[in-house]
Amino acid sequence: MNHHINYILHLADNALILSQRNSEWCGHGPILEQDIAITNISLDLLGQARNFYQYAAELINKSTSQPIKPSTEDLLAYLRTEREFKNCLLVEQPNGDWGQTILRQHFFSTYQFLLYQKLQQSKDGQLAAIAAKALKEVTYHVQWCKEWVVRLGNGTAESHSRMLHAIDALWSYTGELFENAEYELHLINEGISVDVNLLKNEWQQKVNEIFSEATLPLPEKVFMHTGGKQGIHTEYLGFILTELQYMQKTYPGCEW
């Protein structure tokens, strides 16, 4: 598969897997309004994923002269295997407690906000349009997460210690967000992909600001896990896909 398609799948997979993770909160949120909030974010991400998958499917079908079975958004989401998924490791990490879910979303939304800001200038008009549209929604995600990180970091001794635990659990998965995969490197010069390396400083600065408001310590330099963008995942992705893809694998082609 070509770099362009891989890049779009990477963007789609990030959104789909985080959407799936957040949707695990449905019916389990700490209070009704927050249950609704996290599942709203989940839905927004699912919408992004659909747009990207539809576009990837269109390009795949164009690039194959006589496809036996045309690609669709559903095939891409439900029938690819673990090694074909190109999402970052961060989004597949377990929900943990509410604090860990919030922190994962905060790290990711801050990154996605910066990414889409740049992607809306992509020379690929469809990617630019999806990014511009989603950016309006991501702006709300960023605001919501920020409030929660401050509330928990600055809250009680219990909430503060849980945030410290969340930082320990997640920080080493943030480095990968800013390392370009091969498909990204190939598209940077064409003006299609965003050079994620260039987002790092601003992301760090934004996280620092919120952490200092939340009285949370800035994490030390640690070893950073990578591999998700190339299809090498933590053990969690397999379990996520087992649940996510269950229906289509058990009843192939089923619709309702």
Partner 1 sequence: MVNISSNIETREKEIWKILESVTDPEIPVLTIVDLGIVRNVKINEEEVEVSITPTYTACPAMDMIAVNIRLALLENGYTIIKITTVLSPVWTTDWISETGKEKLKRYGIAPPLSSLDKDGQTTVIQCPQCRSDNVHLISQFGSTACKALYQCDDCKEPFDYFKCH
Residues near partner 1 (CB under 8 A) = 33-34, 36-37, 40-41, 43-48, 50-51, 125-126, 128-130, 132-134, 136-137, 140, 143-144
Least distance from partner 1 to the Cβ atom of residue 13, Å: 16
Q: How far is the CB of 145 from partner 1 (least distance, A)?
A: 11
CB nearer to partner 1: pick between 124 and 184: 124
**Which sign does the torsion angle of CA 233, 239, 241, 244 carry?**
negative
* Residues in Cβ contact with 119 at an 8 Å cutoff, skipping those fewer than 6 apart: 127, 128, 131, 193, 194
Which CA distances in Å does 86 have to 28, 55, 114?
28, 16, 19
Among residues 40 and 159, whose Cβ is nearest to partner 1?
A: 40
Length, in residues, of the chain: 256
Q: Which is nearer to partner 1, 59 or 181 (CB)?
A: 59
Of 44 and 176, the one with the shorter C-beta distance to partner 1 is: 44
Q: Minimal distance in Å, beta carbon 28 to partner 1?
A: 16
d(CA 86, CA 200): 20
Which residues are within 8 A (CB) of 172 and not within 5 positions of it... i.e. 6 or more apart?
222, 223, 224, 225
Place of tokens 């990617």: 127
Least distance (Å) between residue 9 CB and partner 1? 18
**CB nearer to partner 1: pick between 98 and 178:** 98
Minimum Å gap between C-beta 44 and partner 1 is 5
Chain centroid to Cα 218, Å, comes to 22
Q: Nearest 5°: CA angle at 46, between 225 and 31? A: 90
Nearest distance in Å: CB 31, partner 1: 10
CB 175 within 8 A of CB 132: no
Give the nearer residue to partner 1 in terms of CB position, either 119 or 167: 119
Contact between 233 and 82 under an 8 Å Cβ cutoff? The reply is yes
